[in-house]
Amino acid sequence: MRGALSVKASAFGTIASMYEGVPGEDLGVLDHAEAELEDVERALRRLDEGSYASCEACGRAIGDDRLARSPLTRRCAEHDSPMTPSAPAGT
């Protein structure tokens, strides 16, 4: 999993650097690439910390199937709703 996330981070970093300093280019593309890169880097940090497969909201396991479908997922299905508070467990 780490290898796939690292490749994705590298790709988004390359895309973002292509748009830096280019006047008149669609900054929405750059903003999206930067947001994706932040998500990948967050997933890599969580992997290193050992919290990658745990929900940020409740601490329960996210589930391998869910992570396989969306490797950047940070919450379990129960807490993935935009209406659900996103405070990390223990706060």
Q: Pick the more confident residue, 61 or 18.
A: 61
> pLDDT value at position 3?
65
| % of the chain beyond a pLDDT of 90 | 46
- pLDDT above 90 (res 76): yes
DSSP 40: H
Return the closest-CA partner of residue 43 out of 86, 9, 15, 80: 9
The residues spanned by each domain of the chain are 1-52, 53-91
How far is the C-alpha of 60 from the C-alpha of 10, rounded, in Å?
30
Task: Kindly report the pTM of this predicted structure.
Answer: 0.60
